[in-house]
A and B are shown apart, each in its own frame.
Chain A
């Protein structure tokens, strides 16, 4: 796989809007359209450490892969349109102890995020989210010509909930990514619940999309899902994905949980059943994945934490301050532009995250690979960032 794949994307689809967004929201998506401001799009070749995309480095595990293998035996099934939408919906509903009508499947949570933006923002009802955050909603709002309002993070790179509340009044949609990508910080369960309650009171027509993509990686004890809140409040939905802790980014499965009437508004914009349904590998894998007992995510959380603790210590020892990390990636003040760091790392076969304005001059996002991968990465970081900094000794 050559390095020049993205030559094309640099010529396609980038209008003034995208450029504007990149300056405000930190665009830098890896996909075909948005990747134009990304320096490189590259398959993970053998020997390359890819810690750029917040993937689970160990994959979905033997139970899911066994299910996929069974599916492939005989080889006929991929020829059929899948009828598994109902099975996956049931499996998710069972996991959360909700009804099927409270579940909305999507092609990754991407489709959920897009559908919510489509339905709940308008020319007069803005999208509100932090700067930076995961870019999907903002990119899409801009695509369909709806306004986007960015809210600054506080000094610890955490969401400033008072500022959010003030900015979100009368908004169409609030995108609440927690833990927040790319900064990896987290707002505790109680504070989030208070925020959701206040939003419900002050602006009941605004939808709050709580993106729990990294939910399973949180180790903070003040942690719980906001699915119960969403079920009781039609103005809140929770998005989840199988792309992170479940290790299935390639299979494109995500979903929303919420009030049946709210989800009904989004359904026409998500993959339907029958001939337009989700791919059968993804549905079979997701059904098996969510049917596993809690030890699967607990083990993955523990594995990630061990790596994370090592990396936190590594950067602290270097005198480079990482943001408080509750995810499978970290956001580090390396004091040099992310691009320089990224290019230098890539030259040594380590791929790290894209630019995240307005922090791209000082901060880099580094996903957490396996322990072995991170030990390799550390050697490269030492070369690129310098072995020790002057402040590190203390």
Chain B
């Protein structure tokens, strides 16, 4: 039951997710989480912090500052290039607060991760301008975004992009930033690299070195994805010292919890675990993509721990979600404007995805032969 419940923050009450039939155990492939959770090093670090639950992060061992220093070290940067957030959530919000205003708009591709635009629009009363992703590849269309950036406060690029799972190359990003800064030198560009670990290095290169050298370019990272710590709420921003200084002013004091700090430090010292997780994810992702392909459904070129699949000739994302939920398979939410055609499926364990693909076969196959299920 707890699985189905979530607080509706507008009223403090609860809203209900699609309920499962009684006795059906949920397979949660809806939120792009690492299904295995953190590695042993992180778990041990958390357990070791129990005696320090009473200590603020500035009195704990390790200090929150130690995590910043370690992140800086891993990225060949200095501590002043890094600021911690409660997940990358706080980073995304604070970036919007620092760089947008009612007269300085936000630019995003559509679709993309929705929180920055939601916060900017609803809370900060900031205008959001968007350009659709490429209709064929669903890759972020930088050429279409460029004309929107004039006078913008901030451009948000999620790379790899959620929910499309696609990657934008670093060279293209650099060219884009140069073009933006030609006409609009103070416009900030936030590169959300939440899924960076899962991307193929042949396609994806981190923008961190670029951000370190380029004012008003920020990279956001999180421990919620490959590091398996979505519930732990640790993220960070990294960039040029002048930019990070602006961000750091908005950082909430004592923002990160001490268990999370310890777990993140332990994880960063255990890169082998991430390597294994990335390989595991790729294997299960390939399996899932093939299963859907065998059913006749194409997906985008996924560089993440989720896939984005064109099920449009059979059903909408909402119909797919409901049908899957009957078997306890929880897939991703709607992603307008593509929700009539595309579904996001997170990659669980191999065992979970074997079960999930059985359901997909059942749910998606009948319509294949008639190809008329849409709209039912």
In-complex Cβ contact of B252 among A75, A114, A267, A279 (8 A): A114
Do A69 and B50 touch across chains, with their CB atoms under 8 A apart? yes
Do A85 and B233 touch across chains, with their CB atoms under 8 A apart? no
Report Cα–Cα, A53/B63, bound state, in Å. Answer: 14
- Contact residues in B for A24 (Cβ distance below 8 Å): none
Do B115 and A276 touch across chains, with their CB atoms under 8 A apart? yes
- Contact residues in A for B43 (Cβ distance below 8 Å): 72, 75, 78
- Contact residues in A for B42 (Cβ distance below 8 Å): 78
Do B257 and A251 touch across chains, with their CB atoms under 8 A apart? yes
- Contact residues in B for A86 (Cβ distance below 8 Å): 2, 5-7, 14
- Contact residues in B for A12 (Cβ distance below 8 Å): 80, 245, 248
| Given known A273-B8, A276-B89, contact A81–B60 (CB-CB < 8 A) | no
Report Cα–Cα, A59/B77, bound state, in Å. Answer: 36
> Which stretch in A94-102, A169-177, A380-388 binds the other chain?
A94-102
- In the assembled complex, the CB of A354 is this many whole angstroms from the nearest CB of chain B, namely 11
**B247 — nearest CB in chain A belongs to which residue?**
A13
Do A247 and B53 touch across chains, with their CB atoms under 8 A apart? yes
Do B2 and A250 touch across chains, with their CB atoms under 8 A apart? no
Do B258 and A251 touch across chains, with their CB atoms under 8 A apart? yes
Do A31 and B53 touch across chains, with their CB atoms under 8 A apart? no
| Given known A53-B56, A107-B86, A280-B232, contact A1–B254 (CB-CB < 8 A) | no
Do B6 and A250 touch across chains, with their CB atoms under 8 A apart? no
Within 8 A of A (CB), among B24-53: 28, 31, 33-38, 40, 42-43, 46-47, 49-53
1/0 per residue A66-87: CB within 8 Å of B? 0011001001111111111111
User: How extensive is the interface on chain B, given as a class?
Assistant: 35 or more
Do A250 and B54 touch across chains, with their CB atoms under 8 A apart? yes
Do B80 and A11 touch across chains, with their CB atoms under 8 A apart? yes
In-complex Cβ contact of A55 among B35, B54, B65 (8 A): B54
| Given known A60-B53, A79-B38, A99-B12, contact A281–B257 (CB-CB < 8 A) | yes
Report Cα–Cα, A280/B64, bound state, in Å. Answer: 18
B103 within 8 A of A: no
Do B54 and A247 touch across chains, with their CB atoms under 8 A apart? yes
- Contact residues in A for B83 (Cβ distance below 8 Å): 32
- In the assembled complex, the CB of B30 is this many whole angstroms from the nearest CB of chain A, namely 10
1/0 per residue B114-134: CB within 8 Å of A? 010001001100000000000
Report Cα–Cα, A285/B9, bound state, in Å. Answer: 21
Do A1 and B63 touch across chains, with their CB atoms under 8 A apart? yes
- In the assembled complex, the CB of A215 is this many whole angstroms from the nearest CB of chain B, namely 17
Do A280 and B231 touch across chains, with their CB atoms under 8 A apart? yes
B293 within 8 A of A: no
Within 8 A of A (CB), among B60-74: 60-66, 68-69
Do B245 and A81 touch across chains, with their CB atoms under 8 A apart? no
Do A83 and B5 touch across chains, with their CB atoms under 8 A apart? yes
> Which stretch in A37-45, A123-131, A304-312 binds the other chain?
A37-45
- Contact residues in B for A243 (Cβ distance below 8 Å): 56
In-complex Cβ contact of A285 among B7, B10, B53, B256 (8 A): B53
- In the assembled complex, the CB of A160 is this many whole angstroms from the nearest CB of chain B, namely 28
- In the assembled complex, the CB of B222 is this many whole angstroms from the nearest CB of chain A, namely 10
Do B8 and A78 touch across chains, with their CB atoms under 8 A apart? no
Report Cα–Cα, A269/B97, bound state, in Å. Answer: 11
Do A281 and B46 touch across chains, with their CB atoms under 8 A apart? yes
A32, A108, A274 — most chain B CB neighbours (10 Å): A32
- Contact residues in A for B337 (Cβ distance below 8 Å): none
Number of interface residues of A (CB under 8 A): 89
A320 within 8 A of B: no
Do A43 and B60 touch across chains, with their CB atoms under 8 A apart? yes
- Contact residues in B for A64 (Cβ distance below 8 Å): 53
- Contact residues in A for B35 (Cβ distance below 8 Å): 76, 79
- In the assembled complex, the CB of A178 is this many whole angstroms from the nearest CB of chain B, namely 21
Do B254 and A252 touch across chains, with their CB atoms under 8 A apart? yes
1/0 per residue A226-253: CB within 8 Å of B? 0000000000000000010001111110
B3, B31, B52, B54 — most chain A CB neighbours (10 Å): B54
A22 within 8 A of B: no
A19 within 8 A of B: no
Do B253 and A79 touch across chains, with their CB atoms under 8 A apart? no
| Given known A32-B64, A52-B59, A264-B11, contact A250–B228 (CB-CB < 8 A) | no
Within 8 A of A (CB), among B294-328: none
Report Cα–Cα, A274/B4, bound state, in Å. Answer: 11
Report Cα–Cα, A278/B230, bound state, in Å. Answer: 10
Report Cα–Cα, A89/B11, bound state, in Å. Answer: 11
A65 within 8 A of B: yes
Do A100 and B10 touch across chains, with their CB atoms under 8 A apart? no
Do B56 and A30 touch across chains, with their CB atoms under 8 A apart? yes
- Contact residues in B for A335 (Cβ distance below 8 Å): none
**B6 — nearest CB in chain A belongs to which residue?**
A273
- Contact residues in B for A31 (Cβ distance below 8 Å): 58, 251, 253-254
A58, A65, A76 — most chain B CB neighbours (10 Å): A76
Report Cα–Cα, A76/B38, bound state, in Å. Answer: 7
B329 within 8 A of A: no
Given contacts A78-B38, A251-B257, 8 further A-B contacts (CB under 8 A): A76-B37, A78-B231, A78-B263, A79-B36, A84-B2, A100-B14, A143-B250, A278-B233
8 A-B pairs with the lowest CB-CB distances in the bound complex, closest first? A79-B37, A250-B258, A280-B231, A31-B253, A85-B7, A101-B12, A276-B89, A79-B228
Contacts A/B (CB < 8 Å), 8 sampled: A12-B245, A30-B253, A31-B251, A44-B52, A55-B59, A80-B37, A281-B257, A282-B257
